[in-house]
Structure 1
Amino acid sequence: MGTTPPHRRGLRAGIVSCASCLGWGQTYTMGLCAGCYCFPLFNPETGACGACRRVLPLKKGYCRLCWCQAEQNRRHHDGDARSKVVMAPHLRDVRFHQLFLLWKPPRTPAPPPRIPRRRGAKGRPLKPPPPIAIRPAGRWLQPPLFPAPPRTFGYGRFDLRSQPVPDNPWLAWALHLAHTMAQARGWSAIVRCTTQRTLVMLLAGHADGDTIRTSDIHQVISRRSNSFRRAVEILDTMGVLDDDRPTSFDLWLQRKLDSLAPGITVTVDGWARALLHGTSRTLPRSQSTVAANVRVIQPALLDWSAAYDHLREVTRADVLAQLDALHGHHRQTVACALRSLFRWAKRGGVIFRDPTSRIKTPRLEHPVFQPLSPDQIARTVVAATAPHARLFVALAAVHAARPFAIRALRLDDIDLGNRRITISRWTRPLDDLTHRLLIEWLEYRRQRWPDTANPHLLISKRTAVGTEPVSQTLLAPLLRGLPATIERLRIDRQLEEALTHGPDPLHLTKVFGIAEDTAVRYANSARDLLTRPHEDHPVSSPGTRASGSEISPDEPLGSR
């Protein structure tokens, strides 16, 4: 059988006294406990024990019972069973035997002292924080007549593990700013070390009056897989950054206007930037609104660029020809964008006459919102497996929150004790489902990012080290291709409220805090669904009900 203990082989005899050590407990074959069974395997000598005079297997002249009693005596006299006191004096002093139970609680040694670990140096303690520093006192310098040429050489690379930090007052100030920002935002040790190495590389030879171009350092930082965004933020705070990067909107607009005629390109570019930044008489529009206006009129601009060189050559017939080929809401959107473009050009003296004047577009009626089917909602619920995705879906499906409002939620907008939540400055009660999902997400957030200082409710790996909200594409991979998107869930929730409690705009405004015209639109859709019967042979769609049936106010929506 080898040296395998009997309790490992299942040879149990019962709860009796051990025949060798007299301990009470579980015994095995031959009436021995597990310890006494294994004792002679390592101590084959047999004879009379030096203390109890019994003929048993011996270890250094004493049986196992005497060894157990000597261990108890040592613990009683020395107070520490793990002390390095020899057992010989206690073995000679054994005059009696205290019976004991065979089971002993397992020893739990004290955990070793926790030593901070760093990347690349196991067990090495963290370096002390950088000394407090302020902006270096500079003197007046003559501004350069011509801008400095782009930097063609690489920035120095320093190994902070073997080399000291360069003595530079600008670098000392930058390291202090980075340390303060790390404490405020809860950066990890790896993020702190990476940011420090980047700042040392960029500011080791910095002098008063020098500026750092963003285009010069982008490739240097990205090549070493460091955080470009954090370094740029610190340099911008110091006032030594020259951000010469084109914006994403500029690059997008340039791609859209590349295939147009030069005269049309200049006019459309000026109009798009006037919408984005505003003028003395108009307010600035959002970037998405400007992009949508440019996108809808691009086909018309491409057709005119093939025949004309400038917008002043476009006539009223050309505008009508473009509008006649469109229908519905798309036609109205294109007409509105073209009217804005030509009015801006006429006001600025770019064209002599506005070809869109006195072109009427009929007012379109808003389509009737259709409720989602239970299967469509179930597919979205199944797809939302992550904690943040479940919370996102619940806020849209229960509280009818818009996606940008969910991303803008802050921690102080949640009152779990009073079960209240504030969405877009509108406070409402918390239901049981949302309350439970909020607790699950906050627990996951605390375990995943315990040191983050981001005040927003929803954060990601990228925003956990900053203070900005999550991006718009947070749920795009999860809900791509599903009919019940976040926006459709929000619309369905407000429509369901209007169908359940009646098409009352005041009730919708009070519950969801929406505008009056929006509430009237939802009330009209609910009224149409409640009063108008369906056609005899409707076109089947996932969001429609059975044909020839009329929805009553008391009927629940698809037993959702």
Structure 2
Amino acid sequence: MRSGDALDPCLRCGAVIAYSGNGRYARFCNAYCRKSYHRQQAQAGRVEQPRMLPGMPRLARSRRAPAPPPPPPPLRPAALNRQIPLFDRPMRDLTRYDAELHAELDNPALILARSRAAQIGQERGWSAYVRYDVDRSLPMLLSGHIDGDQIPEAEVLQLTGFNLPARRVAAVLADLDLLTGQRPPAIEDWIVRQTADLPAGFASCARDWLFWLHNGDTRTKPRSDATIYTYFGLVRPYLIEWGHTHDHLREITKDLLLAAMDKLGGRRHHNVLTALKSLFRYAKKDRKIFTNPTQGLRTTRTPAHSSLVPLQETRIQAAADVADTATLRLIIGLAAIHAARPVAIRHLKISDVDLANQRITLNGVTRPLDEFTAQALLAYLRERARQWPHTKNPHVLVSRITAGGQRPVSKYFPKQHLLRHGIQLEEIRMDRVLDEALANRADPLHLACVFGFDATTAVAYAEAARRILTEDHLSLDVSFPDEGC
């Protein structure tokens, strides 16, 4: 009950309850009681209700006043009589920043950057959490800022160690001309390095195609880095093979493409043909070739399990050659031996690994831990302890972004190095399941017990294995094992 309220019966409902000073009506039924009371008075002839005559404008209902527009951004602070710095400001260590000691919230450059960050966030649709993190990051960089100072980009990138959006903050500082030492995207250097090894007649076309995928044009949106890595990994072997017998991309005919596609099947056929279509479509558009040999070729996707075939030895060897770090050896070991999906690898926790008893739990299924995976786990955990000795992240796989939090690594992390070589982690996992099905008489019950599959998935893999065994697919001489084995 507020100080201005009184205890009297309501004129409409008779409830003895505190009512506001705006009339003799209860607060919870104020609007209803007022309308009902005036209606009763009008029916008794005591109050004359206004009548709407033809031509009279209808009064609009009262609405809440619109929110005032945001204040205009402050002007750039005028340059004071300060000495122009002779040298660039050295990069600071943000781990030594203390908000209570170093924050200068009245700095003109900080006030301007905060206002501009709010505007950019509204224009680009940043979430409330991102806007808050950007606003929290700016005092770390602009406290103590004087006119003429430029902030190195390497200093801004230190924010990633605090789980703060360094790229968003860099965009704000670049908009205000306060950022220096901006580096080109890493993928541009990767494109130049990778295409330099191609034959001369194919290198320029492939390089321009990858840059087109990265930057886009007026009618095409830029593609993600993962798409660029995947497309080039799929196309690169064919460009090298064609470079031995041809001098330019324009010499590639449809017969050569069909001969290359005949060796593939299922999802692999679909992915390679999609990447080649993108390459030749760009080359035709940019007038690097006269005709598009992929025109008319169909990329019909077949069901995943019905098109399963064992991986070729060259693909398996390529995956083994890529695993040159402790992280990749662990990822490939979990996929190639335990048939773990990428999401299970990302969410694997330290508590799921029992090295003493040689057991591991994946997707809620506990299974024996083989020697290769155990050694890969020990090597990775030693490397993890060396790089991030104080991390509290419960997951086995951590990165420089997730080491300071509790989140798992991103979806792209387990397969980033494999995609650059055209290797899919899902292919390795499916080949492991298919190999188990071929070795155990295509028994779906065995697959469900070993890998924790449901009935539908286990039956699908068993049917694919049975088809390979009956049709002798790819000239495989596979026979059922003896009953005693």
Using structure 2 for the length normalisation, give the TM-score.
0.43
Give the structure-1-normalised TM-score.
Answer: 0.39
Higher radius of gyration, 1 or 2? 1
Task: Tell me which protein shows more helix as a share of its residues.
Answer: 2
Query: RCO higher in 1 or 2 (8 Å CA, sep ≥ 6)?
Result: 2
